[in-house]
Structure 1
């Protein structure tokens, strides 16, 4: 039996990493993993494909999403037969042996997919990857490769959810969650800012005027958000609902708002809004 869910044929990007504010909020990495689990559980159950740009470390968020995708495999009419797509940017996968990538792809067959990208954000198949020498990427490779991956993800997704996020010790030109949020704003892609874990997501909410600043934490690229102050997030939520989403410490409340927005927003085109 097949059926269509409300988010069928929709690809939702999720951006997260640990936040430096979590200890002060009484939160730990397990709380962030629980939040990711709830986001994934509900969006997968509604038929969405989740898209993430992460590495393959054993305790990372990519593996958490893979486990959830396996648990929530579904029978739908959607062309999105796989529940999760994980993009591996050039500087991420060039660090790894091709044989390791082969094994990871084989382990995920039927549940999730790995997308390897070159430094310009174009797909590389595993056969081509075997021809490339593993090496330690340079700082320019990190910056260019990560930005290219984020542009590719933007073009192939319908909305983005951000939560947590470090604001130092990052690779690239600016914090990763900030760069991904900036691209979504520039493209008018529906953006959901879950700020209860502090970190970069909370900073973005303050920078664009969803929340009043509680002191300004500077990081490279923050000034680029100034032009988006007061603009709509195109996410199906009212200004008050976005304020609550950006400030609530309660994951259940945030999930309700995200799902409400996803079902109301115009998600008909990838990389931005419908006309």
Structure 2
């Protein structure tokens, strides 16, 4: 079975945001964007689709994924699927004018889609959204809307990759990458932790025992990861392979490991069904 046979039709969630550790690691923000680019290029080329929970900010990772979908998602579109789906949680989109969302959706030209959700994580059509006036969500609404979006993403994806991630100035119950990783672990969804760019992803790798702990960096919810161990990653990689994935800054090496682990994991699932 080839990589393409394994990945075709699969949906991979990617969780990333700027890492506070880049300078200390001798890296720049562009290295994180390059990593995202390579992950997207390889997975899309193999026929998988990507999902991301972004906010459409200028210069953000959503825009980068949309560009990559237009460039590399041709095979996915031929199969009648979007190359990239960007989930917009209720508190993310409700403060915007509906026409801004309509325009943003139209500009994607079929390469990618915006999926609007209501406060309970249910899909919301654009016509339904037009009936609502913009409003500023409360902090409880931020927490609820982001959590329900992330649970929805778990239900509609086959695996998750995390890298980087800030641990301060977040909305919701905990840093976004942490909450998405936590839900993947709870659901036994394959989780790939690229910790070579530091940030929240590295903290998660330390907390579940993939990496040795350094000086602990406190953030809300970090203690919840102590209930898990490295075998709970459920990602088809050995302990040594996960150690390399969680520590390497070399994107090509990380991608090889992710492809290897996903292939093993998906083959095992297929064999179990057969």
* Pairwise TM-score range, normalised by the shorter structure: over 0.9
Unaligned runs of 5+ in 1: none
Q: Distance between the aligned counterparts of 2:194 and 2:80, measured in 1?
A: 26
Task: Answer with 77-86 or 230-239: which moved more.
Answer: 77-86
Q: Distance between the aligned counterparts of 1:223 and 1:92, measured in 2?
A: 27
- State the SS of the aligned residue for 1:244: helix
1:118 maps to 2:121: no
Deviation string, structure 1 residues 31-75 (Cα, Å, up to 9, x no partner):
110000000000000111000000111201011001111111333
| Within-5 A mapping of 1:190-209 | 190-209=190-209
- State the SS of the aligned residue for 1:23: coil
TM-score normalised by the chain length of structure 1:
0.93
Q: Distance between the aligned counterparts of 1:76 and 1:111, measured in 2?
A: 9
| Within-5 A mapping of 1:32-111 | 32-75=32-75, 81-111=81-111
> Which residue of the partner structure matches residue 132 of structure 1?
132
Deviation string, structure 1 residues 166-221 (Cα, Å, up to 9, x no partner):
11110101010000000000010000000001010000000000011011111111
Task: Answer with 185-194 or 130-139: which moved more.
Answer: 130-139
TM-score normalised by the chain length of structure 2:
0.94
* Number of equivalenced pairs: 269
Q: Distance between the aligned counterparts of 1:217 and 1:133, measured in 2?
A: 40
Superposition deviation, residue 78 in structure 1: 7.8
Q: 1:192–1:230: structure 2 CA closer, same or farther, 3 Å change rule? A: closer
- Considering fraction of residues, name the structure with more helix: 2
Q: Distance between the aligned counterparts of 2:171 and 2:268, measured in 1?
A: 32
> Which residue of the partner structure matches residue 253 of structure 1?
253
Superposition deviation, residue 266 in structure 1: 2.8
Answer whether contact 1:190 1:233 (CA < 8 A) is retained: yes
1:211 maps to 2:211: yes
Answer whether contact 1:49 1:80 (CA < 8 A) is retained: no
- State the SS of the aligned residue for 2:163: strand
Q: Distance between the aligned counterparts of 2:134 and 2:182, measured in 1?
A: 31
- After superposing on structure 2, the runs of 4+ consecutive aligned residues of structure 1 that deviate more than 3 Å are 75-80
Q: Distance between the aligned counterparts of 2:141 and 2:76, measured in 1?
A: 39
Q: Distance between the aligned counterparts of 2:76 and 2:163, measured in 1?
A: 29
> Which residue of the partner structure matches residue 168 of structure 1?
168
Unaligned runs of 5+ in 2: none
RMSD (CA atoms): 1.9
Deviation string, structure 1 residues 109-163 (Cα, Å, up to 9, x no partner):
3101110000110011010001111011111111110001000000000000000
Answer whether contact 2:188 2:234 (CA < 8 A) is retained: yes
Q: Distance between the aligned counterparts of 1:96 and 1:172, measured in 2?
A: 19
Q: 1:274–1:87: structure 2 CA closer, same or farther, 3 Å change rule? A: farther
- State the SS of the aligned residue for 2:75: coil
Q: Distance between the aligned counterparts of 1:30 and 1:169, measured in 2?
A: 21
Answer whether contact 2:6 2:266 (CA < 8 A) is retained: no
Task: Answer with 221-230 or 169-178: which moved more.
Answer: 221-230
